[in-house]
Every structure is written in structure tokens, then in C-alpha cells.
Amino acid sequence: MSTTKEKRKTKYSKKKAEEILSDYRIAWLSRHVSYLGRKEVLTGKAKFGIFGDGKELPQIVMAKYFKKGDFRAGYYRDQTFMMAIDGLKIEEFFAQLYANPNVEEDPNSGGRQMNSHFATRLLNEDGSWKPQTEMKNTAADLSPTAGQMPKLLGLAQASKVYRQSDELGKRTNFTNQGNEVAWGTIGDASTSEGHFWETMNAAGVLQVPMIVSVWDDGYGISVSKKYQTIKESISKALRGFKRTKRQPGIEIITAKAWDYQELIDAYEEAERVAREEHVPVLVHVQEVTQPQGHSTSGSHERYKEEDRLEWEEKHCCNRKFRSWILSEDIATEEELDKIEEETKEEVKAKQKKAWKSFQEPILRQKEDLNNKLSNLIDSHPEFSILSKYKDELKRKTRPYRRDIISLARKALTELRGKDSEAIRDFRIWLKDLVDKNRELYDSHLYSESNRSPLLVDEVKPTYPNDAKRVDGRVVLRDNFDVLFDQYPEVMVFGEDAGQLGDVNLGLEGMQEKYGKMRVSDTGIREATILGQGIGLALRGLRPIAEIQYLDYLLYCFQGLSDDLATLRYRTHGGQAAPVIVRTRGHRLEGIWHAGSPMGVILGGLRGIHVCVPSNLTDAAGFYNTLLKGDDPALIIEPLNAYRLKEKLPENLGEFTVPLGIPSIKEKGDDITVVSYGSTLNLVHSVLPDLKDADISVELIDVRTLLPFDRNQMILESLKKTNRILFVDEDVPGGATAYMMQQVIGKQKGYYHLDSEAKCLSSKAHRTAYASDGDYFTKPNAEDIFETIYGMMSEADVSKYPPLI
């Protein structure tokens, strides 16, 4: 074997040899990042660490075929890939490890996600899109296993949409004639999740340009793959999905994680098939190692046998790569040693720089507090505790922001009841510091751009003198017709949404008019219906993802809650997916079709607007509003409204319903009743009986639960009536309790109560089948009447004698 440059005789060109050695450098940069990152956690400078060691070589090779305009939807092992595409600097990696909230230091999340969770900043500061075709793009990572898979489908589908549409294909900021590939990565154990199988099935059906790399290291934390995967091989398990000459499907390719040339052959073919043919590909990367185990929360020596650990040592991809380079006479031992040592020193230097950048603003706050405490001690020497706080502050050599603020707040508590210039100055300083620090962690839950749907002005529906009264679904259908014509980027998909025109015919005739690409049917697969929406929206389209019934929302709730609702927040305003999720619910019969899990939705979907219209004109208005904005939303259409008659507006597609602004359906003086959706209509039907009983009800339709009553209209009503009832068909303590908290607590409505504020909801159990089940489970007309009458009887028993 050659030992000097002069004696070396290699078959590789100088350019190719330099490329290989550059790959070797990246592999060791990433490996040293993993090694040092683990040490930083174990020495207490970071809370938790999870790393991509053992996967360096396949990720470097994969990166060679990742082009501008492409998208990655991966998981928390892809640091080497991100470094190889110049999407991650070493300083940024450590900034995220330390949870640096400065988005300039950690552009992936601004300190909001644990390390190795990556995201390209797709948005400018004003909320407008950056040109995706000029970047190598990463959709924001999330930790739930296989959670990245559903949106991968949508990212890939966008290329198909752009390729097939002459009009949309001209949107060069988002596409190069649909030639972009969506690249997914997943650990082998996570392929056991339903999201993986649902996505692979849907990708095969849709035939979209998607490449999924499975890193197979033989374990899911401590659990061997013999307990994870049938046949102990995901590529073997998926053989029935493999395309043939006669039937479409997915292409399946295997390669070893330590074989450089085999990996190149595998990814070259995978890219060709996906990019040129728009066929999904699975690349099963086998014999992956994991030198440091799963994460910093444990050691893999606890569950791996000695022979397995020895095997991993021998099959480490970096070591195998080194042996191959030497065998091919591309470099000498000395040259490779030098690369390994240089990369180690480079990582150390950049880690120190990242730590210094993280600590500097905190140390300035520490110094400020130290000075403030000195001033307070001089002004109030009688408070000896202040000196103890100052000593405690001095001992914090690696402080967090919370340490500074916690001590300052304790000091201010000790000084309660006292007044001096030093105290006043301290109070002002502390308030400013708290506000600034909280802002680091409490922004971008919703859009803060000038395209926020909260800024869309109300435009009321207008009617001609001879306005037709039509089924509510016709208002919705005709409004969709205008929207599809007005917005070529709008598309809708879901179960029975296409040919049938949805189960309630709200999309009747739309597929025939606008084509199968824009109005399409899907399989029964709610998780990937939502995933399509997220991926398509990330690529500049405006999808309406239809979940047939409200109960079925639970099938995709993980994606709604963990991905879509948190997307803008966890990227610190760097990404947004303005998906509209369309569903229908309320007042159906039966345990599995009568659900109204609004409390679940309210608790899990902060970051998504939740619209609960009581009629389909309002529903149409919400679609019009949201398409002018840049936030995701859930619209729950009331099932019993599709056949109820409504006037047909003449300004379809133009009228808007503002978010967070209730509507007063009936004015009254005795009691305020607050509801939404189908239950609102039920309350409305009881008003004539209440009027006959000499009870004047002010009925308010909240229309949206998130946001809720932004102009405090309900409070103003309560000031007049001094009594309030919240009614819906969620379980006790669900959305009625939420509404009560908003009005009585947040809006301080308790100041204006003359009677106990009450809630009327469904029973705690699911709705039993048939009409009797509905009657005895959910609030009925008699329940509403008796509850309102009873509240008035408590106030004036002579005027309203007890019913029972």
C-alpha cells in the first residue's frame, strides 16, 4: 500500500479523490460533533442529546443527489446529511443543543426544539415565502416516531401537482416543472408505526416522487428488530408493494451503510426513478451502527451483547470508509489521521464559540442583577437576605435565564411594602427583563404577518331582493365553485370528496368542472390526508384536507397536534402550513358518529384556528376568510345544516366571517346564553317557548373557539343580563368549561354575576345509538328550557315558580 503522495497510484481522478476526502472530512466532523455533544450533556451544559453517529456515510451519499428545490422530511438522526448539504453549521448544532433562543444562532428553532431537529427558514421576516427552488429545503422535524411520514407524502405530491398543471408549473419560486424529490428518513424500528405503512401505501397509489431511507441499526432503543418487523427486514416485508412491469408500486433498493460505492449506486438509481419517473422509492440501508447508543438518557451496553458491540466496532461506517480509501490508494494513513485530528479541533473550537454565544447575554443579565442588588443593599441594608441572594448569584457560574429572573423576583418579594428610588428602578428593570425573556418563548403561535387571517375585515353576505332559499349545502357548493375559479392553487381531497362530491354534496360537480387533481378522492387514511395537506401547504399550495366526520379527526390528531399546530411556533416563525381541515359533525347518532370532542381539540390544537359555524353561510365565509390569510384552521360544518334552507348570497367567494368575533342571534335582557354549531340552533328553537314564559334571552353564537370572543362581546352582554349559561354537546368540563373560563375568568365576568354561571353539556359517556340515545345523552330542548327557567326561578321564584 502506498504511504506517500509520490508513490500513490489510484484509479480516481484528482477531482474525484478530493470529493472522497471531502466526504471523509464531513463524516468525521459529524462524528466528533456527536462525541462532543454527548460530553456537553453529561457535564451538565445541555439537557439532552440525540445524535446521528453511525449514519454518516449513507447520509453523505444521499446528500449528493439532493438538489435545490428538493425537500427533506426526516427525524433526529440526520445531522450529517444537513451538514453535507450546507444546511447546518457546527455552531448552529451546538446552539440548538444548548437551547439558545436567538434565532440567528439557532435558525432551526430558536431554542424551542431539542437538538437534531432541523428546519429550513422558508419564510421571510414579513411572512412571505422565500424562493424554494433556490434552496435545499427541510420541513421542520418532530420527535414522535414516524410523525414525519404523512407530510412527506404531501411534499412529494406537490411535485406531481406542479408537473401536471401548466398554470401552477409557472410558479418558479416553488417548482422547477415538478422535478423536485421529497426525501424522507426514518429509523428501522419506527417503520412499525401505522404512519409509515399508511404513507407507503398512499405513495404507491398516488405515484409521487418520494425517496424514503430507512436507517437499520437492528434496534428500537433496546428492542431488537426481531420483535419489531416481520421477517426482520422492512424491505422484505414490503415486497408486495414493489412495482412490477404490469403494476405500479414502489421501487425497493438495499445497500449496506458502510459500503461507499454500493450506496452511490443505490442513491443514484433511487434519484433517477423518483425524479424522472415520479415513482416512490424505499432505500433500506442495512448494517448501520450506533456507537453511542440511542441517546444521552442511557447506555446501549445495557442491552447489547458483547459480540454485537464488537461487530458494531468493526462495521462502523467511518472506519470502513477509511479502510476503503486506503485500499484504493486515495490517501495515506497520515493524511487520514490528519483529517480526523483537524476535524476534532474544528469541532472543539466551534463548540466553544457556540457556548460563548449562548452564555454572553445571560452573563450580562447576571451582571445587571448583581449591580441592581448592590444598589438595593446600599439603599436597604436592613434586608440581609439581599446579600445572601447576591452570594447565591455569584455561585452560578453557568446560569440560565431562569436563575437570574427567579432570584430577582425573590428579592422583589422580600422588599414588598417598601418604596425607594432603588426599588422603583429595580421593579422597572425586572419587568422589562421578564417581558423580553418571555417573548423569546411566547411568540409565533399564530401568524404575526400582515396576512394573518385575524386581520381580514368582515364582509357581510349580500342578497338580491328575490334571493333564493336553497339547501345550506348549495351555498357551500356554489361558494367553493367561486373559490376554485379564483384560486388555482386551491385543491380539496378526502374520502368521497371527488366523484361523489362529498357525502353531503357540498362539492357536487366540482371534480367534473375542475379535474381530478384539484378535487380528488382518497382512501380511508386520515393521517395521510392531513399529511398531504401539510406537505402541499409547505410548498405554496392551498389545500383543503377533508376528514369526513368529526369523530375521525382522532385518526390524524397526532399530526394535527404535534406537527401542524406547533409548526410555526417550533420554527420560531420560520415555517407555516396554511392548511384548512374540513370536517362535519354534531348531532349524529351513535357512539362512533356523534362525537363532539371539542375539549380535546381545544387542548391539543393551539396554533390552529377552530371554526364552529352554526350555518353553512358562515362556514363558507370562514373558507373565504382563511384563504386570504396564512394560518391553518379547522372548520367543523354542522351536519344538520346541509338540508336546512338558507338564502343564497350574491357575493359568493367575497363575504367573510371574522375570526374570534361572535354573532348575537337574538337580543335579550334576562340571561345570556352562549353556544355554537348545531347546539346553537337547538337553543334558538327553544326561544319562542322561553319568550312565552316571559324570559328574554340574549343568544350568542361564538362562531370560533380559537380565537374566542376577541372583542369581549359576551362580557358586554353579561353586564346587561347578569346571568349566563354556556351550552354545547361536548362532555362535562369540555368546551363549556373552556368558554366559562374565558368569560368569567379571563374577561372578569364574575364582577357582573347576579346568579351562578352555569354549563349545560352532554353526559360524560358517548352518545348511545338512535333517537332515544341522542335525547338522553345530549342537551335536548327540554333540558335547555328547564335550565334557563331554573336559573330565572332562583332569581325570582314568585315570577318563575319551580317546574318540579
Q: List the one residue out of 576, 699, 553 whose CA is nearest residue 636.
A: 553
List CB contacts of 27: < 8 A, sequence separation 6 or more. 56, 57, 60, 80, 317, 318, 321
CA distance 211 to 274: 7
CA distance 635 to 621: 11
Phi-psi region of 688 (alpha: psi -120 to 50; beta: other; left: phi over 0): alpha
Q: List the one residue out of 482, 467, 463, 476 whose CA is nearest residue 619.
A: 476
Side-chain half-sphere exposure of 273, counting CA atoms within 13 A: 23
User: How many CB atoms neighbour CB 743 within 10 A?
Assistant: 27
| 177 in Cβ contact with 160 (< 8 Å) | no
Q: Where are the alpha helices (DSSP H) in 207-332?
A: 234-237, 260-277, 306-314, 317-327
CA distance 508 to 505: 5
| 743 in Cβ contact with 715 (< 8 Å) | yes
Q: Provide, for the chain, the percentages of residues in helix, strand and coil under a 3-state DSSP scheme, each rounded to the nearest 5.
A: 45, 10, 40
CA distance 496 to 779: 31
Three-state SS for 252?
strand
User: Strand locations in 44-190, DSSP E?
Assistant: 71-73, 137-138, 182-187
* Burial classification of residue 439, based on how many CB atoms lie within 10 Å of its CB (0-12 exposed, 13-18 middle, 19 or more buried): exposed
Q: Cell match 393521517: residue?
A: 527
CA distance 710 to 606: 16
CA distance 78 to 288: 13
Measuring CA to CA, how many Å separate 749 from each of 59, 102, 275, 746? Answer: 58, 39, 59, 8
Measuring CA to CA, how many Å separate 192 from each of 198, 220, 227, 230, 532? Answer: 11, 10, 10, 9, 21
CA distance 76 to 114: 9
| 659 in Cβ contact with 708 (< 8 Å) | no
CA distance 278 to 439: 44
Cell numbers given for 307: 459480540
CA distance 468 to 567: 43
Residue 706 is inside which H or E element, if any?
A: strand 704-706
CA distance 336 to 334: 5
Catalytic site includes residue 609: no
Candidate list 593, 684, 752, 765, residue with the active-site label: 593
Cell numbers given for 189: 424500528
| 191 in Cβ contact with 238 (< 8 Å) | no
List CB contacts of 116: < 8 A, sequence separation 6 or more. 50, 51, 52, 76, 77, 78, 79, 93, 96, 141
Cell numbers given for 53: 453517529
| 283 in Cβ contact with 211 (< 8 Å) | yes
Q: What are phi and psi of 798, to 5 degrees?
A: -70, -35
Side-chain half-sphere exposure of 497, counting CA atoms within 13 A: 28
Which residues does the annotation mark as catalytic?
593
